Structure 1
Amino acid sequence: MHRTPTPRFRRSQLAAAVLALAAVTAFSAGHAAPAAKYASASHSPGTTTQLPRGVTPLHYILSITPDAAASTFKGAAAIKVAVDTPTASITFNTLNLAFAAAAIEGAGGSKQVTRKIDIDADKQTATVHFAEPLAKGEYLLRIDYTGKIGTQATGLFSLDYDTPQGRQRALYTQFENSDARSMLPSWDEPDYKATFALDVVVPSSQMAVGNMPIASSEELGNGMKHVYFATTPRMSTYLLFFGLGDFERATKMADGTELGVITKKGALAQSRFALDESAALLREYNDYFGVRYPLPKLDNIAAPGRSQFFGAMENWGAVFTFEYGLLLDPAISTQSDKENIYTTLSHEMAHQWFGDLVTMRWWDDLWLNEGFASWMESRTTERLHPEWNTTLSKVGGRESAMSQDALRTTHPVVQRIATVEQASQAFDGITYQKGKAVISMLEAYVGADTWRTAVRSYMRKHAYGNTVSDDLWREVDAAAGKPVSAIAHDFTLQPGVPMITVGDAVCRKGNTRVTLTQTEFSKDQPDKKPLSWKVPVIASTVGNGKLARVLVKNGKATLNVPGCGALLVNAGQSGYYRTLYAPAGTHALAGSFARLAPIDQLGLLADSQSLGMAGLQDPAAFLELVKATPLSADPQVLGRVAGSLNGLYEQYAGDTARQQAFARFAMARLAPMMAQTGWEAHAGEASSVATLRGRLIAILGDMGEPGVIAEARRRYAASEQDPSAMPAPLRRTILGVVAQHADAATWEQLHARAQQEKTPLVKNQLYDLLASTDDAALAQRALALALTDEPGVTNSPAMISRVSRRHPELAFDFALAHLEQVNARIDASSRSRYFPRLAAGSAQPEMIAKLEAYAQANLPASARGDADSSVAGIKYRIKVRTERLPAVDAWLAKQTG
């Protein structure tokens, strides 16, 4: 998932372009690619398409003249196409474009003006008809048209932002998954790769940015210039990029590539971390993939504002990222921000290979882009920044996927995509996090060197092309010398979470023998017939350190493990499955918990809590592990304990007496952690300690711990005279506690700050704070404020979403009551996701009927995936409250009785 003449082609320009098409070059000197990559292309047989077959684009010459003030643009496209089957019409994608004229030219200068142009708004296509059929061959299709510049991050859009000098407007594009068609008539599907030559007529004072370097620029007079970008390599339409604004750019060279970071003027200093790290990342990726980054430049463009649905986009050579995901502001940025920026940077740069150089053939295999980029971001962060100890974060990512994958509404990693709306909904935790977890498991199964050999071969064979998952599995099978694809198919072609049940262990002659049984973990289908997986299992005994491996097939396996200590299954946590132990095994691991590696402590905590909430073991088993977690545990383990306790605390929402009883236990457990961590940073402390500090303050504040709330308020008040009272790493956290517990006067004070703030990053945070209050009346005021012009159009949906975290019913009802106004602030392709997610945190039965009614009235059946998932999540939350929390209550009573 972080811009005077009209653009009509001059006759001389068109003639030159036609002559040049036969020998298009995509790169500057030193970046040449094989000519065969550009000579021609045909649509891959068997590939899903929503367009008629028989006409394939080869090269686009695209000229754009934006009018930012009027929010419109003029466009002219000259598209070289290959006609494979004689036809009297050509159909391509279009969305909200108005066509002025179209013509086609063939060999020898033959030309036809279109007889008519039919627009199908529902299919998002246009069909141009010709009086005479086109014979097989190559043609140049010319189209003049106009379009609109939007205010949400889709298509060609504008972002307005405040500066000390006044309001500014910048233009950017966001085309994934299917919005290139809103700026150019195109074959807007990933398998229709082509080359692109973009030129733009823009104000002379502004910087224009594209995928490729500027080839030439000429002044036109009247304060305008004509900018021509070099031709791109062969790529999919959704990767095309254009940006325009009052920008600055910093650069450095790495491995022969010019790296750049582009920001609004005045913010360039905040990009230094991203620029420096991108150089190290490029070198690492060039080495890992065995194929050098092929473009002459790679820019990261930071934009003010935000989207509810993505933070950055991997446009080839011109990565778009919202400022919060790329810039480090010393006044407000935290260690977590720094790590998140690095994660975003490494993810989007990995896409330059997985996604851009090699692209999935159709959206069914989106995980080939997103799962691999997610995996590469983690692998590379662990390698280049070991001091952050991010290896432990893979358990959290796996849990995020499993929470969705264990509901009846889940879907396979490789899923059938038939519509634009379904493609939009495919950008979810299964695609990203399950995809990543499955790759990690398979890499652990075959070995890191073997896996890299397979990836390198895949990149070499499919560069500039499109693939399906089996193209990768063939390379893995060949490199490993065994049928890894059989395991991969089980985990990617069917949904769900395997569960490995561990029988009673028997130790003889220094080895532990145990039977493993594979079933399926489900949160809401207790009687579901389990699917079957081939599951790679790694196990060890506590204190021994030697690993045993087995592939569980046909539902069972016997495992012999060196040593006679407590048996740990999924040692190292590379497996994508739940582990259910017999009571004796659970008890033994609880007694040995402090001796486990931190990653295994995290895995055991996660399994125990999930199995308990699903009714597969006593929920108290998780709480016993919480008690067994020592204060000396890794800060990320302590953070997991805190987060899990906070999640349970929130399950009690609406039942004040029971919630307060649980809070007393949780706060007593967390107070020693807070005392150990303290409010002040210590010299030389690990970055994970800084992260834990902020997390503990936020969670204890959420639970209403009086001391934390009082200290946050004290520091907030003192910051007026002493800015150090709210140091940058804690500023947002302290303000969050203050805002959550604000009275009307404090809320108004924060509102005044937001109105006066000129820095977009800080301004966004302040409006978020206004929507973070526990007080329902103040939350209602925040909702009303969100629909005014004051916060800015990209902040409006974010504020409503933020209210929904504490008041899901209030936020959903408000959004539904103002449906037209809210829809105007959300890009059309994402509305099917936005409203269901507002309701997702509810535990009220009434919300189920409301959400289902909304979906029935507003969404086509093919676009109800998020609505169905939210309903399933609400039902499960209700089940946990009614069937599981009583066991937690009973355990708590024993602790205090």
Structure 2
Amino acid sequence: MRPIYVAVFTAVACLAIPAARATGSPLAVADGTAPTQLPRDVRPLHYEIEVEPHAQSLDFDGKVSITLEVLEPTDRITLNALDLKFSSASLHSTQQKRVYRDPKISVDAATQTASFTFPETLAAGSYRLTLAYTGTIGTQANGLFALDYVTAQGARRALYTQFENSDARKFLPGWDEPAYKATFDLAAVVPAAQTAVSNMPVAGREDLGDGRVRVRFATSPRMSTYLLFFGLGDFDRATATDEGVELGVITQKGLTAQAQFALESSAAVLSEYNDYFGVPYPLPKLDNIAAPGRSQFFGAMENWGAIFTFERGLLLDPAISTEADRQRIFGTAAHEIAHQWFGNLVTMQWWDDLWLNEGFATWMAARTTEKLHPGWKASLRRVESRERAMALDAVASTHPVVQHVATVEQASQAFDAITYSKGAAVIAMLEGYVGADAWREGVRRYMKAHAYANTRSDDLWREVEAAAGRPVLAIAHDFTLQPGVPMLDVTAVECKDGRSTVMLSQGEFSKDRPQKKALRWRVPVIARTLGGAPVRGMVEGGKGRLQLPGCAPVLLNAGQSGYYRTHYAPAQFTALRDRFSELAPVDQLGLMGDALALGLGGMQPVTDVLDLVSATPLDADGKVWERIADTLQEIDGYYRGDAERQARFRAHAIGRLAPKLRALGWDAKNGEDETVAILRTRLIEVLGDLDDADVIREARRRHGGRQADPALLPAALYKTVFDIVASHADEATWERLRAEARAEKRSMLRDGLYLQLATALDEGLARRALDLALTDEPGATNSAAMISAVSEHHPDLAFDFALAHREQVEPLIDTTSSSRYYPRLASGSLDPAMVGKLGTYAERYVAAGSRRATETAIADVRYRIGIREQRLAQIDAWLKKQQD
């Protein structure tokens, strides 16, 4: 994914740890250890936990006995706890055979801790801390939470946990930081008719004789608290066995048929990873748990042996699931199972190095998808992922890959495109630099050296450097310890005696600081002349020189493994544009991405990217056509609210995309490539967004006729057609869609329908969707997503509404997402007044150290306004020239 001072109590005490959104408390850093918000004088070794959840009343009873070590004499034990009420406690010294009772209890809601002070000093040694407590069950996806859903048999409620990054403390009083690894024994008292699941297999089941059973799970390996999992509900389980590991997919009852592809994918991925890492998966089972609903924070979570995934990321519904869904399910499995090693077996010491989990899993998933499903062309998606990172990395509010995290809220904000996509891009670049075999050997050494322990980034770099026999640390530090995007200028190209000499200058690409002094990177470079062999080099100290065979146009970043922008002089760009069809698809994507970003940033004509679009042949790779559709859709968005100019641009964009859709047709053909179905739906989506009358008419025809002729709306088109009908709905259509949503008994379809109601272009219907989101009708986890969906077309309306109704909206948002949720609603605004609104929001509601999301949204709004004011005139002139 993305993500307790324990107490000793008297029998009669009842202390509440108040609910609080901790944004505070800087970390104390002990010499030679990981950062911590807790004292380093006590550490846990083993937890024995028993919980009894009460799903209907949304609370639970808990008992825990913690084996711990006091490392140096102290009279106080401090650990994490949040929203827990303690009723009894005792501390037993295993060496002195003594029980300590009645400590003084103090809590600090801001730091989410509780401290227990004893009347005398505890000697260093082994102790057992036993607590009884109660807690609450939430309705958003953090801590122990409930998800309600509707079935043909009636309403159902299931329980799940989500603890990353800092929410285990809502379920378990303990040391809720990644460096405090321990083993866990979990037991749960649950209704006999329901299924309980955790990280480990069931080790015992005791019938209590009153409709309840006590389920006891086997002891976990040594792990961090954020990886603990518990689930309970009316579940079915599909199973398979691979390499001695029992694989499972757990679903709501009756849906295991939809889990078969996920089960098969898990088996294939597990086998591949056992080989790649050189360390076999160490648990006896690996479950994937499918849950209805959604989160604003995450889509899946890598709990060790019990991966949690929302249904749309795990199940294939034959009525609505597409080829894109299949590929996304495989990608999710590949990402989350990679974490079973990178994150679970070996864990970062602190959230500063979160990218060791997420960047590596993102890279590993792309690599594994490319190997096991080469027809899906995952290597081309790498460029798209890199573009997401660079968009965020080029504004002042960016941060290094290895970042300083000082609060719980900052840890939550660390789950972003820098951590995931830039982290993955840096790994891809370094693997290309040292070679795939040396990289894998370094990873294997790292796994064996640090299994069941915690690490920092340099631990990985040292192992790779040792395996490769090449310097890695300095390059890795350049790209992970400082923020920003390098930019390489091709300043001169001279050809003599059949060889090209290329002169390079390194600057920095920035979207919002054109006069910024460039940082310096050591940049590994791969370049070639068209038709020539690739040559590797290094740009150091801001300058570089390459000798390439051949005198054809020069392509920098050949293969697109480098994390940098490439800026060509006009003549060099023109030479590549004129031979664009000769480039490999991955390089076509890279050249388009650079041309758009540099054009919008004013570093070259913004129309250069439109020239590349015009130069793309109809038979170009489908991923290139997807990129064209994305590019035209992005430019169209800058025209929002300027109907006359937007109509001219849309006529051109439709003229470019519609012929490609006509060539593909609306209906799948036998034997067509797997990627064609994805391109078809993407073209239909974008043409619908561009108000193409033909596409809207056809979507309405298929939607209206689906009851009489189901073949009009196959699964591959179901969501796309509904999206277009919903976004272009009038009041009568909107009401019909709402009636369908209310009547729908399948959770994935129902969730999707409510989200589509919020995509209406009509402002009056958008307001109705916002009002609907604040009712109980859509379901607790869909409401915040509906407000976000409104913001796609109406960012100012959605932001103003959410702030005006903040008391009602706040309970609908994951606590891990609050400081990011509101700014994201506004980031698409083109109104200068939004800058002030965002500033006021941050000052009023967000702690000073947690305003990065707001700063990024402000930068995005200013950037978009600048494009509208400074770049669109170039595009208007270019369009006029095309018509003349």
How many angstroms does 1:598 deviate by? 0.4
Question: Which residue of the partner structure matches residue 530 of structure 1?
Answer: 518
Letter in 1 for 2:713: M
Query: Partners of 2:31 and 2:840 in 1: how far apart?
Result: 41
Task: Quote the RMSD (CA, aligned, Å).
Answer: 1.3
1:466 is matched with which residue: 454, 457, 478?
454
Residue 815 of structure 1 corresponds to which residue in structure 2? 802
Is contact 1:94-1:184 (8 Å) kept?
A: yes
User: C-alpha separation between the residues in 2 aligned to 1:190 and 1:152?
Assistant: 23
- The Cα shift of 1:829 comes to 2.9
CA distance in 2, matches of 1:815, 1:446: 49
Equivalent in the alignment of 2:594: 607
CA shift for structure 1 position 827: 2.3
Task: Report what 1:824 is aligned to.
Answer: 811
SS of 2:116's equivalent in the other structure is: strand
53-62 or 104-113, which moves further after superposition?
Answer: 104-113
Q: 1:675-686, aligned counterparts within 5 Å?
A: 675-686=662-673
* Shift, 1:505, TM fit: 1.3
| In 1: Cα distance, 2:32 partner to 2:284 partner | 32
SS at match of 2:115: strand
For 2:122, the aligned partner's letter is L
1:729-878 correspondence runs (5 A): 729-878=716-865
CA distance 1:148–1:606, change in 2 (3 Å): same
Would the alpha carbon gap of residues 44 and 277 (structure 1) be closer, same or farther in structure 2, given more than 3 Å must change?
farther
Query: Within 1, Cα distance between the matches of 2:310 and 2:266?
Result: 16
1:696 matched residue in structure 2: 683
1:620-631 map, 5 Å? 620-631=607-618
2:297·2:816 contact (CA, 8 Å) conserved in 1?
A: no
The code of the aligned residue for 1:651 comes to: Y
Alignment map for 1:161-180 (pairs within 5 Å): 161-180=149-168
CA contact (8 A) 2:299 2:313 kept: yes
Contact map agreement 1:504 1:585 (CA 8 A) in 2:
no
CA contact (8 A) 1:504 1:584 kept: no
Aligned to 2:19: none
Q: Please, which of 493, 498, 510 is the counterpart of residue 481 of structure 2?
A: 493
Give the match for residue 200 of structure 2: 212
Corresponding position of 2:18: none
Alignment partner, residue 297 of structure 2: 309
CA distance in 1, matches of 2:183, 2:658: 60
- In the alignment, does 2:378 pair up with 1:378? no
- Kept in 2, the 8 Å contact 1:159–1:171? The answer is yes
Q: Deviations over 1:527-582 (max 9, x none)?
A: 000000000000011122x1111110001111011111111000000000000011
Q: In the aligned structure 2, how far is the partner of 1:827 from the partner of 1:78?
A: 29
Q: Per-residue deviation at 1:308? A: 1.1
Q: Which residue of 2 aligns with 1:457?
A: 445
Tell me which of 351, 370, 383 is aligned to 2:339: 351
Query: 1:328, CA displacement in angstroms?
Result: 0.4
Instruction: Give the CA deviation at 1:675.
Output: 1.0
Match of 1:129 in 2: 117
User: How far off its partner does 1:782 sit?
Assistant: 0.4
Matched letter for residue 529 of structure 1: K
CA positional deviation for 1:229? 0.6
Residues 759-781 of structure 1: per-residue CA shift (max 9 Å, x gap): 01000110011001100000000
Unpaired stretches in structure 1, ≥5 consecutive residues: 3-7, 10-41
- C-alpha contact 1:501 1:579 (8 A) present in aligned 2: yes
**Quick one: which amino acid aligns to residue 339 of structure 1?**
Q
Residue in structure 1 matched with residue 248 of structure 2 by the alignment: 260
Instruction: Give the partner amino acid of 1:436.
Output: A
Given candidates 628, 651, 658, the residue that maps to 1:641 is: 628
| Aligned pairs for 1:251-400 within 5 A | 251-400=239-388
Give the letter for the 1:625 counterpart. Answer: L
Q: 1:607 Cα shift? A: 0.4
TM-score by length of structure 2 reads 0.96
Task: Tell me the SS of whatever aligns to 2:800.
Answer: helix
- Secondary structure (helix, strand or coil) at the match of 1:782 reads helix
Check if 1:221 corresponds to 2:209. yes
Structure 2: tracts of 5 or more residues without a match: 3-7, 10-28
Superposition map of 1:131-170 within 5 A: 131-170=119-158
Distance in 2 (CA, whole Å) between partners of 1:753 and 1:44 is 61
Query: Match for residue 72 of structure 1?
Result: 59
Question: Cα distance, 1:507 vs. partner?
Answer: 1.3
Residue 670 of structure 1, aligned match among 641, 652, 657:
657
Length, aligned pairs only? 859
- SS of 1:842's equivalent? coil
Report if aligned partners of 2:58, 2:137 keep a CA contact under 8 Å in 1: yes
Q: Which residue of 2 aligns with 1:480?
A: 468
Query: Could you tell me the percent identity over the aligned residues?
Result: 59
TM-score (normalised: structure 1): 0.95
CA distance in 1, matches of 2:92, 2:511: 60
Task: In structure 2, give the amino acid aligned to 1:880.
Answer: I
> Offset of 1:390 from its aligned partner?
1.4
Structure 1 partner of 2:407? 419
Equivalent-residue separation in structure 2 for 1:265 and 1:136 (angstroms) = 51
SS in 1 for 2:36: coil
Cα separation, 1, equivalents of 2:283 and 2:595 = 48
How many Å separate the matches in 1 of 2:116 and 2:130?
11
Cα distance in structure 2, aligned partners of 1:716 and 1:253: 42
Among 178, 185, 188, the residue aligned to 1:197: 185
In structure 2, C-alpha distance between the alignment counterparts of 1:843 and 1:292, rounded to whole Å = 52
Q: CA deviation at 1:504?
A: 2.5
**How far 1:482 moved relative to its partner?**
1.8
**In structure 2, distance between residues paired with 1:687 and 1:658:** 37
CA deviation profile, 1:438-487 (whole Å, cap 9, x unmatched): 00000001100000000000000000000000000101111111211110
Query: Among residues 707, 715, 738, which one is paired with 2:694 in the alignment?
Result: 707
1:388 and 1:416 map into 2 onto residues whose CA distance is 37
Q: 1:281: how far off?
A: 0.6
**Residue of structure 2 equivalent to 1:16:** none
Query: CA contact under 8 A between 1:311 and 1:321: conserved in structure 2?
Result: yes
| Partner-residue secondary structure (3-state), 2:35 | coil
Moved more, 752-761 or 42-51: 42-51
Deviation of residue 251 (structure 1)?
1.1
CA distance in 2, matches of 1:111, 1:208: 34
Deviation, 1:108, is 4.5
* CA distance in structure 1 between the aligned counterparts of 2:155 and 2:306, rounded to whole angstroms: 25
The CA deviation at 1:45 is: 2.7
Residue 890 (str. 1) matches residue 877 (str. 2): yes
Separation (CA, whole Å) in 1 of partners of 2:276 and 2:99: 49
Deviation beyond 2 Å, 4+ runs, structure 1: 42-46
Q: Is the 8 A contact 1:43 1:56 kept in 2?
A: no
**For 1:373 and 1:602, how far apart are their aligned partners in 2?**
23
What residue identity is the alignment partner of 2:126?
E
Q: Secondary structure at the match of 1:234?
A: coil
TM superposition shift of 1:43:
9.1
Question: CA contact under 8 A between 1:43 and 1:192: conserved in structure 2?
Answer: no
Amino acid across the alignment from 1:125 = T
The CA deviation at 1:720 is 2.0
Question: What amino acid sits opposite 2:371 in the alignment?
Answer: R
